[in-house]
Structure 1
Amino acid sequence: MRSLSIIYSSIIAENLPILKRLLLKRSVFEEIRRESEKAYPLEACGVLFGRLEGEEAIVSKYRSLRNVIETPGRFWFSEREWMKVICEERKLGLDYIGLFHSHPRGSPIPSPADRHRMLECPGEVWVIAAYEPKKLFKLCAWVILDLNWSFSKIYITVVQEGISGSHTA
């Protein structure tokens, strides 16, 4: 069964545009920061929605998911909850952009476990926050480009509400 998943992921990866920039609405940025603080010392997690425009993703909405792993340094969520949230937002006309999670007392770089999970959905954006009280809040976005585990950092721009797409360049 695992080999079918890899074949399916390969087909998906061949047809996805390569994102080079993530525009994150200020309200989404603030919500992610609050979720990271609230979950600390555990990892926060959620789903990002918006729209895809060529090489840009405009993230206009964040939906929190419950971290079902109650161990510091790990996260995952109920796939049923994840699918339900995606279906609800797609009905509203939003594109699924990817996942968010925090790294308490860590860096915003994908861990080996993160990279393994990212390989399951090439092209899916992973936004990772480094959160620790009284420290600088850092946010980075990543995407797996192919089945060779090459992953790429995506440039993030936090934008005010009402600003979208290439008009901000």
Structure 2
Amino acid sequence: MTGPDPGLVVPTAIRDRILERAREGAPEEICGIFGGDFEPEGQSRVRSQYPAGNVAETPRTRYRIDPEEQLAIFEHLEDRGEEIVGFYHSHPRGPPSPSATDEAQATWPDRSYLIVSLEPLEVGSWRWREDGDDERFDRERIVLE
């Protein structure tokens, strides 16, 4: 028997806060990390979100979380007994799907990558999959609660 289809369960309040932050951060991309319950093949559940500064050289078209800030967030998650569920960022003028740069920089297998598009306003989520030489993003369902 298999588990539920891969998906990302997101509290509405967290989704709304990320949308608000994406609007406030435009025209630059915003980014952050999700904490909660990680399920590689099933539904991961977001319990918290941790905004991070975007230190990319071109923050209007790229995002990069400072490695020291990322480590501090990971340590905070561990202290709270949470797992790394995934990451989020915005595309102020692009679709809610991974760009070629997003694909090239993805490094967390089976984690969710939520993308907020502002034009049009839409949210999409993707799982990064690595299977031998096959590396790709698979779309996943977002479940709001």
Query: Shorter-chain TM-score category?
Result: 0.7 to 0.9
Where do 5+ consecutive residues of structure 1 fail to align?
A: 1-16, 160-169
* Contact 1:21 1:155 (C-alpha < 8 Å) held by counterparts: yes
After TM superposition, the score normalised by the length of structure 2 is: 0.88
Q: How does 1:82-161 map to 2 (within 5 A)?
A: 82-118=70-106, 120-132=107-119, 135=120, 137-146=121-130, 147-159=133-145
State the identity as a percent. Answer: 24
The worse-fitting range, judged by mean Cα deviation, of 61-70 and 108-117 is 61-70
Higher helix share: 1
Q: Structure 1 residue runs of 4+, over 6 Å off?
A: none
TM-score using structure 1 length:
0.76
SS at match of 1:90: helix
Look up the SS of the partner of 1:109 in the other structure.
coil
Q: CA RMSD in A?
A: 1.9
Pair 1:60-2:44 in alignment: no
Are positions 1:27 and 2:13 aligned together?
Answer: yes
Deviation at 1:27, TM superposition (A): 1.2
Are residues 1:46 and 2:29 paired?
no
Structure 2: where are the runs of 5+ without partners? none
Higher strand proportion (structure 1 or 2): 2
1:69 aligns with 2:89: no
Larger of the two Rg values belongs to structure = 1
**What is the count of residue pairs matched by the alignment?**
139
2:8/2:112 contact within 8 Å kept: no
